[in-house]
């Protein structure tokens, strides 16, 4: 079933959920707080949105379904950040109490669960989501409840909401740098392979327009549903087209089927190499074949050299085991919790309006490098990186933008972009 089909049952659910308002959604105190009888008067602060000695946050990730292969790591990194922040005294002196929900790799479930977290559990903010379909499903719910969502994964751009902070890359921080890298490699022909939902289709629309500017010919474009692992027919078309490179926007466990079919067709890093935007350190070993020599575009790799990254890796492996690896989305999720802490403490309030008013310029010395929040579009500045997989399933950085790229989710600074052109 395509991701579009999964949205049909969402309309009624969203309409119902949007009628509610989360207790922390605005600066107005909810009457239900007074009636609950749970207010800790002794520990209450002057902040009307969160009272007591703790702050409830929602962690919403897929720990089941096709996306669990990727989202489990995001969950783990959020828990690491929460434990570190609590050990350091919490947020404005309040310890984090997190409430977990499983998105089950289904957009409608994400919509249902974020509604529960905001309106029933009354969390101050939610952290999670992976696919753009899950984010699109959550967007009207979090806006209707006037809550906050921190979304940690690279995406197709063309979106901004006062209720969402995007700590993964937008298009001009990942897709466009990847195309610049391919141009620098002398690529003339490119084949597009993606999962059949909003991110790959929108990303490929942008890729096709920029490819014309760069003089790169698109020689094929194929999609398979996110829940399907069968790429045999599509890979046969890639083999016949013989492109210089394949741009891979496939997500989740469907990548396993794609890589398997690619390998069985006799293709590899020396013949039509792949550049991916959703295969990272966690996914690479799970592909079942040798990926040495293949490429990925991200803003963080475990191999990044910095004291902050060394400390991050050490802490993550101390908590989860020395065999565990770190990756871009989990680093962005980890960073998002620290950015939220910085926003709240700058605002001196957990209230959404106050947090938003104070968010601009909040920075954090993240494992990827220092990141800064753009208060206008709620994205963060990020350095573009291209990594090449080595024999240890780690990524050697082979290209860098050299400095953080300011987020431009609507591509206003790119005159070649036409949203009305297919």
pLDDT of amino acid 338: 98
pLDDT of residue 24: 44
Residue 154 near residue 363, CB atoms below 8 Å: no
pLDDT single digits (tens) 123-176: 999 999 999 999 999 999 999 999 999 999 999 999 999 999 999 999 999 999
Has residue 15 got a pLDDT over 90?
Answer: no
Residue 46 has pLDDT above 70, yes or no: no
How many Å apart are CA 150 and CA 193, to the nearest integer?
28
Identify whether the C-beta of residue 411 lies closer than 8 Å to the C-beta of residue 157: yes
Of 313, 194, 103, nearest to 206 (Cα)?
194
Tens-place pLDDT, residues 88-116: 999 999 999 999 999 999 999 999 999 99
**pLDDT tier at 22 (50, 70, 90 boundaries)?**
very low
Q: Name the residue with higher pLDDT: 47 or 368.
A: 368
Q: Report pLDDT for 247.
A: 98
Q: Are 57 and 82 in contact (CB under 8 A)?
A: yes
With CA atoms as reference, report the closest residue to 304 among 406, 396, 370: 396
Task: Evaluate if residue 267 carries a pLDDT over 60.
Answer: yes
Q: Is the pLDDT of residue 84 over 70?
A: yes
Strand partners, 366: 369
What band does 282 get if pLDDT is binned at 50, 70 and 90?
confident
Q: Write down the pTM of the prediction.
A: 0.87
pLDDT of residue 422: 75
- When pLDDT is cut at 50, 70 and 90, the band that residue 37 belongs to is very low
Tens digit of pLDDT for each residue in 299-358? 999 999 999 999 999 999 999 999 999 999 999 999 999 999 999 999 999 999 999 999
Per-residue pLDDT at 69 = 87
Whether 14 shows a pLDDT value over 50: the answer reads no
CA–CA distance, 197 with 193 (Å, rounded to integer): 12
Name the band, by pLDDT with cuts 50, 70 and 90, for residue 9: very low
pLDDT attached to residue 41: 30
What's the rounded mean pLDDT across residues 58-85? 96
Answer yes or no: are the C-beta atoms of 245 and 268 closer than 8 Å: no
Helix (H) or strand (E) holding 340, with range, is: helix 328-347
Under 8 Å between Cβ of 366 and 380: no
Torsion of CA 143, 147, 150, 156, to 10 degrees: 0
């Amino acid at each position: 079933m395509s991701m579009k089909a999964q949205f049909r049952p969402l309309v009624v659910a969203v309409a119902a959920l949007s009628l509610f308002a989360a207790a922390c959604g605005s600066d107005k105190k909810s009457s239900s707080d007074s009636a609950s009888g749970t207010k800790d008067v002794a520990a209450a602060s002057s902040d009307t949105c969160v009272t007591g000695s703790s702050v409830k946050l929602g962690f919403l990730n897929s720990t089941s379904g096709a996306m669990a292969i990727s989202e489990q790591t995001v969950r783990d990194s959020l828990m690491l950040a929460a434990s570190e922040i609590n050990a350091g005294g919490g947020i404005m002196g309040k310890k984090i109490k997190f409430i977990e929900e499983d998105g089950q790799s289904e957009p409608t479930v994400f919509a249902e669960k974020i509604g529960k977290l905001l309106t029933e559990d009354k969390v101050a903010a939610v952290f999670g989501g992976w696919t753009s379909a899950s984010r699109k499903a959550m967007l009207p719910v979090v806006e209707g409840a006037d809550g906050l969502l921190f979304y940690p994964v690279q995406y197709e751009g063309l979106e901004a909401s006062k209720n969402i902070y995007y700590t993964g890359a937008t298009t001009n921080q990942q897709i466009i740098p990847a195309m610049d890298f391919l141009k620098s490699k002398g690529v003339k022909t490119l084949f597009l392979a993606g999962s059949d939902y909003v991110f790959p289709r929108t990303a490929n629309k942008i890729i096709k327009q920029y490819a014309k500017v760069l003089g790169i010919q698109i020689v094929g474009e194929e999609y398979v549903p996110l829940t399907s692992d069968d790429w045999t027919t599509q890979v046969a078309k890639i083999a016949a087209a013989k492109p210089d490179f394949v741009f891979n926007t496939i997500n989740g466990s469907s990548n396993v089927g794609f890589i398997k079919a690619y390998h069985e067709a006799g293709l590899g890093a020396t013949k039509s190499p792949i550049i991916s935007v959703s295969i990272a350190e966690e996914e690479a070993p799970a592909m079942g074949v040798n990926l040495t020599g293949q490429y990925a575009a991200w803003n963080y790799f475990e191999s990044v050299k910095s004291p902050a990254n060394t400390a991050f890796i050490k802490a993550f492996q101390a908590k989860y085991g020395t065999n565990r690896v770190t990756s871009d989305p989990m680093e962005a999720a980890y960073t998002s919790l620290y950015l939220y802490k910085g926003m709240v403490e700058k605002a001196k309030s957990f209230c959404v309006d106050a947090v938003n008013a104070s968010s601009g310029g909040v920075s954090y010395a993240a494992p990827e490098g220092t990141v800064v929040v753009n208060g206008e579009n709620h994205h963060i500045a990020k350095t573009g990186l291209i990594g090449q997989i080595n024999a240890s399933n780690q990524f050697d950085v082979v290209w860098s933008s050299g400095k953080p790229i300011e987020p431009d989710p609507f591509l206003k600074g790119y005159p070649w972009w036409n949203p009305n052109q297919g």
